[in-house]
């Protein structure tokens, strides 16, 4: 008990010590902004994995569209954070600042996500030819544009823009580059009749990759026509989102960069990342040793609560190596002392079963909400523990 409380206190003190010191932030002026509007660069960066963000935070005009266009909350989170990881291949987090996309307007994103229309459909809906800018394929048989059919999958689900800024010698920040993520559907959902049942068909990855790379070239051409984006480097990354029912997120699988002023993407680079559910057939087939460690952990948890079997893990792999695992343990407690005792037990299991080179996070919850958090970062021997009050 004493050790657990000390660990929790240590975590609290660490977080307090890492809090940004806003009194010593750096003030700059952003290019293309009114000179009177000052921006702030935080001095503190919470991790080498993250960019510092220009303050005050300026949301993208297309903010919120991702919720409607991306299948699950898991994909929503990974689409954004994964795009930041891709950006690090081109834009060094020690030099560049992050800002949400300011150039692709809400209406533009919505129009690009539409299907292409036939001439008859344009006439029917009283639209001009220049408004026919949808990036998804038209209905194969030229039918009702408000229905999706099996023969014409919607490949592109969402477009996300991130901006990366540089500070110049005059104390101003200016756009240094743009990263755009294209979320691609791995499953096509459609109806055979209006208000009818929803059917689904799997889209092969090879098809998804081919169509995604074609879309990326078209998106680049359009981006170069936007004021302010003609001469900056542009990286475009392809994200394969999972089915709506998946409990693990999709992942980025390729990216390419157009150099400053170029209207052609360079060579495509593979992104070797993926999420795997533990336990699952995929984990059994491809990651047996890691699964064994997880199953031993799970078995020991079930020894503490014999009638419980709800331990689920989401493992993140990069270059086919396990980087981190996030474990959820939803359980019913009958008092705070029981929750504390169980958390102590689980903390010991983390140290026992998982090697120090991977990050482990265990979320313990009940019907009342979060109960405890156990975190052990890579290359740390002692986990941090927090008991929610």
Element at 112 (helix H, strand E): helix 106-112
Q: How wide is the angle at C-alpha 97 spanned by C-alphas 94 and 103, nearest 5°?
A: 145
Q: Which residues contact residue 299 at a Cβ distance below 8 angstroms, ignoring those fewer than 6 apart?
A: none
Q: Return the CATH number of 29-271, one of 3.40.50.2000, 3.10.570.10, 2.60.120.920, 3.40.47.10.
A: 3.10.570.10
The stretch 9-16 carries a mean pLDDT of 41
Tell me the DSSP string of 50-98. Answer: S-EE-BS----TTTTHHHHHSS-HHHHHHHHHHHHHHHTTTS-TTT-EE
Model pLDDT, residue 231: 95
What are the tens digits of pLDDT across the range 359-369?
999 999 988 89
Count Cα atoms within 13 angstroms, Cβ side, for 248.
20
Torsion of CA 377, 381, 384, 385, to 10 degrees: 120
58-105 residue pLDDT tens: 888 887 788 778 878 899 999 999 999 999 999 999 999 999 999 999
| Domain ranges in the chain with CATH number 3.10.570.10 | 29-271
Residue 1 has pLDDT above 50, yes or no: no
Tens digits of residue pLDDT in 101-153: 999 999 999 999 998 888 888 888 788 888 899 999 988 665 555 555 777 89
Confidence of residue 34 (pLDDT cuts 50, 70, 90): very low
Q: How sure is the predictor about 54, in pLDDT bands with cuts at 50, 70 and 90? A: confident
**121, 145 Cβ separation under 8 angstroms:** yes
Residue, of 191 and 11, whose pLDDT is higher: 191
269 beta partners: 255
| Average pLDDT value for the chain | 86
What is the reported pLDDT for 104?
96
Is pLDDT of 44 > 60?
no
State how far the Cα of 220 lies from the Cα of 83, in Å rounded to an integer.
17
pLDDT at 381: 87
Distances (CA, A) of 78 to 224, 249, 251, 361: 27, 6, 7, 17
CB atoms within 10 A of CB 161: 23
Token digits of residue 253 = 């699988």
- Please confirm whether the linkage preceding 180 is cis (ω < 30° from 0): no
The whole-number pLDDT of residue 297 equals: 96
pLDDT given for residue 2 in this prediction: 42
pLDDT tops 70 at residue 198: yes
Contact 101, 219 (CB under 8 A): no
User: What local confidence, expressed as pLDDT, does residue 64 receive?
Assistant: 76
Q: What pLDDT sits at residue 37?
A: 58
Q: Residues of 75-84 as b/e, b for ≥16 C-beta within 10 angstroms?
A: bbebbbebbb
* CB within 8 Å of 386: residues ≥ 6 apart: 8, 11, 12, 372, 373, 375
* 160-196: pLDDT as tens digits: 999 999 988 777 899 999 999 999 999 998 887 777 8
Domain 277-387 classification at class level:
alpha beta
Give the C-alpha separation, 232 to 258, whole Å.
9
Q: Is the peptide bond before 279 cis (omega within 30 degrees of 0)?
A: yes
- Determine the Cα angle at 327 with ends 250 and 68, to 5°: 35
- pLDDT of 93: 92
Intervals of CATH 3.30.300.190 along the chain = 277-387
């Amino acid at each position: 008990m004493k050790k657990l409380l000390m660990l929790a206190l240590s975590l609290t003190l660490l977080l307090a010590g890492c809090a940004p010191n806003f009194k010593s932030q750096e003030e700059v002026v952003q290019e293309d902004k009114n000179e009177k509007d000052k921006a702030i660069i935080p001095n503190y960066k919470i991790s080498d994995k993250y960019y510092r963000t220009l303050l005050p935070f300026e949301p993208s005009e297309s903010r919120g569209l991702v919720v409607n266009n991306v299948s699950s909350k898991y994909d929503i989170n990974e689409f954004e954070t994964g795009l930041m990881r891709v950006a690090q291949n081109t834009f060094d987090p020690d030099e560049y600042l992050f800002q949400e996309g300011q150039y692709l307007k809400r209406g533009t994103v919505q129009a690009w996500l539409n299907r292409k229309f036939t001439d008859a459909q344009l006439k029917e809906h009283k639209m001009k030819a220049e408004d026919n800018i949808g990036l998804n394929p038209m209905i194969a048989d030229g039918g009702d544009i408000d229905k999706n059919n099996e023969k014409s999958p919607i490949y592109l689900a969402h477009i996300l823009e991130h901006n990366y800024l540089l500070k110049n010698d005059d104390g101003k920040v200016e756009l240094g580059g743009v990263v755009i993520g294209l979320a691609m559907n791995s499953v096509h959902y459609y109806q055979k009749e209006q208000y009818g049942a929803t059917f689904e068909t799997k889209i092969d990855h090879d098809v998804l990759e081919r169509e995604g790379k074609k879309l990326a070239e078209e998106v680049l051409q359009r981006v170069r026509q936007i004021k302010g984006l003609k001469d900056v480097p542009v990286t475009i990354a392809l994200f394969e989102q999972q089915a709506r029912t998946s409990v693990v997120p999709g992942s980025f699988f390729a990216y390419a960069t157009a150099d400053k002023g170029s209207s052609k993407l360079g060579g495509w680079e593979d992104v070797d990342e993926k999420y795997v559910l533990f336990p699952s057939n995929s984990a059994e087939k491809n990651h047996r040793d890691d699964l064994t460690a997880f199953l031993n952990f799970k078995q020991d948890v079930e020894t503490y609560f014999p009638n419980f079997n709800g331990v689920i893990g989401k493992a993140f792999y990069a270059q086919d190596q396990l980087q981190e695992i996030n474990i959820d343990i939803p359980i019913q407690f009958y008092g705070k002392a029981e929750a504390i005792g169980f958390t102590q037990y689980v903390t010991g299991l983390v140290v026992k079963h998982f090697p120090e080179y991977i990050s482990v996070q265990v979320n313990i919850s009940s019907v009342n909400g979060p109960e405890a958090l156990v975190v052990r970062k890579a290359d740390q021997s002692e986990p941090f523990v927090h008991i929610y009050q």
